Amino acid sequence: DTAVSQTPKYLVTQMGNDKSIKCEQNLGHDTMYWYKQDSKKFLKIMFSYNNKELIINETVPNRFSPKSPDKAHLNLHINSLELGDSAVYFCASSPTGTGNTIYFGEGSWLTVV
Partner 1 sequence: GNSVTQMEGPVTLSEEAFLTINCTYTATGYPSLFWYVQYPGEGLQLLLKATKADDKGSNKGFEATYRKETTSFHLEKGSVQVSDSAVYFCASFLYNQGGKLIFGQGTELSVKP
- Backbone phi, then psi, for 37, in 5-degree steps? -115, 120
Q: Report the residue from 23, 25, 29, 48 that binds partner 1 according to the rule CB under 8 A.
A: 48
Torsion-angle region of 52 (φ positive above 0: left; ψ -120 to 50: alpha; else: beta): left
Q: Report the residue from 1, 14, 28, 41 that binds partner 1 according to the rule CB under 8 A.
A: 41
Distance CA(50)–CA(20), nearest Å, equals 20
Report the nearest approach of partner 1 to the CB of residue 28 (Å).
17
β-bridge pairing 73-78 and 87-94: unpaired
Dihedral of CA atoms 75, 73, 92, 110 in degrees, nearest 10, equals -30
Site string for partner 1, 8-37 (x = CB under 8 A): -----------------------x-x-x--
The answer to the question of residue 107 lying near partner 1 (CB under 8 A) is yes
Q: Report the residue from 7, 19, 64, 104 that binds partner 1 according to the rule CB under 8 A.
A: 104
| Subset of 54-73 contacting partner 1 (CB under 8 A) | 55-56, 58
Cis peptide before 8 (omega within 30 of 0): yes
**Which residues are at the interface with partner 1 (CB under 8 A)?**
31, 33, 35, 40-45, 48, 50, 55-56, 58, 90, 92, 94, 96-107
